[in-house]
Amino acid sequence: MSSLTMRPCGDFRTSYKQDNTIFETKTIRWVTIFTILALCFAPLLVDAYFITLLIQISYLGIAALGLNILVGYTGQISLGHGAFFGFGAFASAWLNTSFHIPVFLCIPLAGFLTMGVGMMFGAPAARIKGLYLAIATLASQFIIEDFFARAEWFSGGSAGSMAEPISLFGFNFDTDQSFYYVALFSLVFMFIWGCNLMRSRDGRAFVAVRDHYLSAEIMGVKLNKYRLLSFGVSSFYAGIGGALYAHYLGYVSAEGFTIMMSIQFLAMIIIGGLGSIKGTLMGVIFMVFLPEVLEGGVGLMKMTDWGNIPMVVDGLAYIKEMAIGLVIIGFLIFEPEGLAHRWTQIKNYWKFYPFAY
């Protein structure tokens, strides 16, 4: 008789190390490595416009991950993330212009300065929750916006501020193709750091505060400490993303960091999936490519007979403006757990096919 080979069916872990691994399987690990290597050759394979979209995904992805650590993992709401993103942008340009610090050092320093500002606003906010916390963080958005408008020594006021390109060992990263590698490295590094953070003791404390703060407090988790720490980590990520944004564009203006940007960051993590590292990146990619898809749809509509009807053309223009709100509502109704949850369901379906379990 031939011996039967037993193969485990299902997804199970037998140790804490397996349960907290970054890559669930070896296949996912190798696919991730291959994707990163393929992205390294992207400037040689795609046009310049697509490179600008990838750079945009990089610095927005870093900032959005910080917000997801605060909202998705710790359960704290923030409506001022766009202002912290802007503070990081202005801080890096200010450090370079006023103190002549090299740009590649200004970026992490801007992250720490933004972290300090975030913890300053997070100190009172750490003691409140729900609607009151939302109002407190909304206040931080408008306070920082007003600071940008009045502090000409820091932001340049209404004139804005210039930001020098990143320079390292005499080489200037002043083109899209060269800056792309800086953005890609920053994205990979910050996401790996975020994954390791959530596997650490502090990361588990964040989740405990989110899931049941009373039980967490009974077990010895200091609620105010970790709520404040989550605000600091979130602001640090926002500052790094904002600094990259500033040195990529070469110019920073306060008009770009309004409440609308904060809502866009919230939309990214809601669409991608709250409390999911990979979901954050999915949400950012979705939000970056959404205007491009809508623009293409409007262009195709104008080429048809419907494009000659003014009411249809005006209606499409309004839909483009309302797209973010409509998408958020749609995901909250039909896919409240985000794209990461849908991806997991699709993956599990093919993994267990043709069985139902």
- 122 CB contacts (<8 Å, ≥6 apart)? 227, 228, 230, 231, 232, 235
* Phi, psi (degrees; rounded to nearest 5) at 252: -125, 130
The helix/strand/coil state of 123 is: helix
Residues of the chain predicted below pLDDT 70:
1-13, 15-19, 297-317, 320-321, 355-357
Q: CA-CA distance, 95 to 231, in Å (whole number)?
A: 23
pLDDT at 9: 55
Domain definitions of the chain by residue range: 25-272
- The answer to whether 207 and 73 have CB atoms below 8 angstroms apart is yes
pLDDT at 356: 58
- Let me know: does 279 contact 344? Beta carbons within 8 Å: no
d(CA 282, CA 340): 7
How much is the pLDDT for 17? 67
DSSP string of 249-294, one letter each residue: HSEE-GGGSSHHHHHHHHHHHHHH-TT-HHHHHHHHHHHHHHHHHH
Cα–chain-centroid distance for residue 70?
11
pLDDT in tens, 6-30: 555 556 667 666 667 777 778 888 9
Task: Please tell me the predicted confidence (pLDDT) of residue 111.
Answer: 97
- Predicted pLDDT of residue 314: 65
Largest Cα span, the chain: 85
CB 234 within 8 A of CB 81: yes
Helix axis angle for 48-68 and 259-272, nearest 10°, is 80
The pLDDT of residue 327 = 82
Cα–Cα separations (whole angstroms), residue 199 to 18, 233, 306:
11, 15, 53
Question: What pLDDT does 64 receive?
Answer: 97
Query: 130: left (phi > 0), else alpha (psi -120 to 50), else beta?
Result: left
Instruction: Give the pLDDT score at 231.
Output: 94
Q: Is the dihedral of CA 231, 237, 240, 246 positive or negative?
A: negative
CA distance readout (Å), 189 to 12, 58, 181, 311, 357? 29, 11, 12, 48, 36
